[in-house]
């Protein structure tokens, strides 16, 4: 990732950090005899190695997790989610010397953001302070968007020791996010500064509005179907289908995902047909491909009954490979629908009577 332009942030942030440092110093002096809140491992404080990721992409889930090696970074004393602003940006940079920061740059109007952020919040709670999610509203914090050179939202940036390690844009499925985070843990393992024995972490006090693990977004974590829908809403049916196909390979029998996958397959096919597809199919009843194309258009524009009737009629008057093609297409359309729908039940019964 390109170097972050910190100049727009310096004036406000430096003043805020200086104030927080004075407060932290005074606090340490008054509580030097207190029992330490953290027991830190002896980690070297050198800068993290070069990221194993490719900027702008996500790591695969094959990366082995090493979160158990992060020691005190899993302490409940660390927040799981913070709100990042221009004023506390420099404090966040200080905090990244001790714990990785995952910055979620989002916007209110962004539908993919609404899918991604709850998943990140859920994962942040699961990791229990091994990394911190910093949420930045780009509409309220345009200087942050400028500093990170944000071109689209959501954009996610991983920071450690004040340096960006990796970034990606767009909503990602939970399995890929987990792999990406595990790779991040591996990249920084043993390379961050040890947590102060007195528990006073530089930069932490700047975040007065901390969000605890039990106070993350109450919205339900985005399901795989929600994530696919977010992709489909952008018109990328192929990406939505690919996401669901991958999910179904590892989770066979997920009927909601199967139905959504069939829907996006149909929408993708229908999008490649002409407006006169239905008229053409009516005029060329022997053209099986035309009947299938017309059924797709009817399924998405007219209704399931018209599509089912067309394909059942085609199956009734064909044999061999042509019949098999029409039957396969009809079964795929069935997969989009609620299996308890009377229309689907009737069509399945009619199909069975035609075949057997």
**Where do the domains of the chain lie?**
81-188, 224-268, 273-355
Q: Could you list the pLDDT tens digit for every one of the 356 residues in the chain? A: 444 554 444 444 444 434 444 544 454 444 333 322 222 223 323 333 333 333 333 332 222 233 333 333 334 367 888 999 888 898 899 899 999 999 999 998 888 898 899 899 989 988 888 999 999 999 989 989 988 999 999 999 999 998 999 999 988 888 889 999 999 999 998 889 888 877 677 777 777 534 444 444 444 446 888 888 888 888 888 888 988 998 888 888 888 889 999 999 999 999 999 989 999 999 999 999 999 999 999 998 888 999 999 999 999 999 999 999 999 999 999 998 888 888 999 999 999 999 88
Q: Quick check: is 113 catalytic?
A: yes
pTM of the complete model: 0.45
C-alpha neighbours within 13 Å on the C-beta side of residue 315:
24
The SS3 call for residue 8 is: helix
Q: How many residues does the chain have?
A: 356
Q: Fold for domain 81-188?
A: Glutaredoxin (3.40.30)
**234-259 as b/e: b if 16+ CB within 10 A:** eebbebbbebbeebbeeeeebeebbb
State the Cα–Cα distance between residues 157 and 134, nearest whole angstrom.
Answer: 10
What pLDDT is stored for residue 77 in this prediction?
A: 62
What pLDDT is stored for residue 35 in this prediction?
A: 29
Query: From the candidates 110, 261, 292, 337, which is the catalytic residue?
Result: 110
What pLDDT is stored for residue 207 in this prediction?
A: 73
User: Residue 345 to residues 238, 303, 350, 356: CA-CA distances in angstroms?
Assistant: 29, 16, 9, 16
What pLDDT is stored for residue 218 in this prediction?
A: 43
What pLDDT is stored for residue 177 in this prediction?
A: 92
Tokens read off for 135:
């949420």
């Amino acid at each position: 990732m390109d170097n972050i332009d910190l100049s727009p942030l310096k004036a406000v942030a430096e003043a805020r950090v200086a104030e927080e440092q004075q407060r932290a110093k005074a606090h340490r002096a008054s509580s030097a005899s207190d029992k330490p809140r953290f027991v830190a491992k002896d980690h070297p404080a050198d800068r993290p190695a070069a990221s194993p990721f490719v900027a702008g992409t996500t790591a695969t889930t094959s990366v082995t997790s090493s979160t158990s090696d992060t020691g005190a970074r899993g302490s409940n004393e660390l927040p799981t989610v913070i709100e990042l602003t221009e004023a506390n940006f420099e404090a966040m940079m200080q905090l990244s010397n001790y714990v990785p920061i995952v910055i979620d740059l989002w916007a209110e109007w962004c539908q993919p953001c609404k899918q991604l952020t709850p998943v990140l919040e859920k994962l942040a709670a699961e990791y229990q302070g091994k990394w911190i999610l910093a949420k930045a509203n780009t509409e309220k914090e345009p200087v942050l968007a400028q500093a990170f050179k944000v071109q689209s939202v959501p954009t996610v940036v991983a920071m450690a020791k004040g340096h960006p390690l990796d970034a990606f844009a767009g909503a990602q499925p939970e399995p890929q996010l987990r792999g990406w985070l595990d790779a991040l843990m591996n990249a920084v393992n043993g390379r961050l500064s040890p947590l102060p024995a007195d528990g006073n972490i530089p930069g932490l006090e700047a975040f007065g509005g901390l969000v605890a693990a039990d106070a993350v977004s109450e919205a339900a974590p985005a399901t795989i179907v929600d994530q696919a829908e977010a992709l489909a809403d952008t018109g990328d049916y192929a990406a939505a289908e690919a996401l669901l196909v991958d999910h179904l390979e590892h989770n066979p029998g997920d009927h909601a995902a199967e139905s959504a996958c069939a829907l996006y397959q149909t929408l993708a096919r229908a999008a490649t047909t002409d407006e006169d597809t239905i008229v053409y199919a009516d005029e060329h009843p022997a053209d099986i491909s035309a009947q299938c194309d017309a059924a797709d258009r009817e399924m998405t524009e007219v209704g399931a009954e018209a599509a089912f009737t067309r394909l059942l009629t085609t199956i009734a008057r064909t044999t061999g490979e042509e019949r098999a093609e029409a039957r396969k297409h009809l079964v795929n359309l069935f997969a989009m629908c609620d299996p308890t729908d009377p229309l689907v039940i009737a069509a399945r019964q009619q199909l069975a009577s035609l075949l057997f």
